[in-house]
Amino acid sequence: MLVTRHRNPIQNTRKFDLINEFFNALETQNSEEPREVFDFVPAVNTREGADAYYIELDLPGIKKEDVEISVDKNILTIKGKREVKKEEEKEDYYRIESAYGTFSRSFTLPEKVDSENIRATGENGVVEITIPKLKVEKDTTKKIEIE
């Protein structure tokens, strides 16, 4: 009897679902702070690399001086405000568009991260936060001789 093994494409997508669930679990609301109402929620992308976790926030038009990133009790919080004013003046009209508001996003960090070396960079309206993983030696099997 010939036994064949069929690959199940659904099973492969489950791995991605687990990764998405992991990053969704990272994002939490800090229950110790009073609930605030925020004017907008910036888009966030999260990913995991071999040596670090990465969080990217879309913050177009927001100055880096208006963004505050902090870590407290293993919770990473990004807060900020936007003040965008766009004026356009033509011969027959004058238009002002402005957008003001505050935002806050919080993420619970995994246990094995180097919170002392978290860094953030910003370019073209995107802020990337790099959260290094702690170096953990892999378990190795060691044979112990009886004396």
Percent of the chain with pLDDT over 70: 71
Q: How far is 137 from 135, CA to CA, in rounded Å? A: 7
Q: Structural domain of residue 116, as residue ranges?
A: 32-132
Residue 31 has pLDDT above 70, yes or no: no
The answer to the question of residue 118 being in a domain is yes
Here the CATH number for the domain that contains residue 37 is 2.60.40.790
The answer to the question of residue 91 being in a domain is yes
Largest CA distance in the chain: 97
Please provide the DSSP assignment of 39-70 as one string: S----EEEEE-SSEEEEEEE-TT--GGGEEEE
Residues 40-54: what's their mean pLDDT? 90
Q: How many domains does the chain have?
A: 1
The answer to the question of residue 73 being in a domain is yes
Q: How far is 20 from 44, CA to CA, in rounded Å? A: 13
**What beta strand segments (E) does the chain contain?**
44-48, 52-58, 67-72, 75-89, 94-108, 119-123, 126-132
The answer to the question of residue 41 being in a domain is yes
Residues 136-142: what's their mean pLDDT? 71
What spatial distance separates the first Cα and last Cα of the chain, rounded to whole Å?
49
Query: pLDDT tens digit string along 58-115?
Result: 988 788 888 999 999 889 999 998 887 788 888 888 888 877 788 899 999 988 899 8
The answer to the question of residue 144 being in a domain is no
The answer to the question of residue 5 being in a domain is no
Q: How far is 58 from 86, CA to CA, in rounded Å? A: 19
The answer to the question of residue 27 being in a domain is no
Q: How far is CA 84 from CA 6, 10, 57, 128, in A?
A: 56, 45, 17, 21
Question: Which pLDDT score is estimated for 33?
Answer: 44
The answer to the question of residue 6 being in a domain is no
- 0.75 surpassed by pTM: no
List strands edge to edge, sheet with 94-108.
Answer: 67-72, 75-89, 94-108
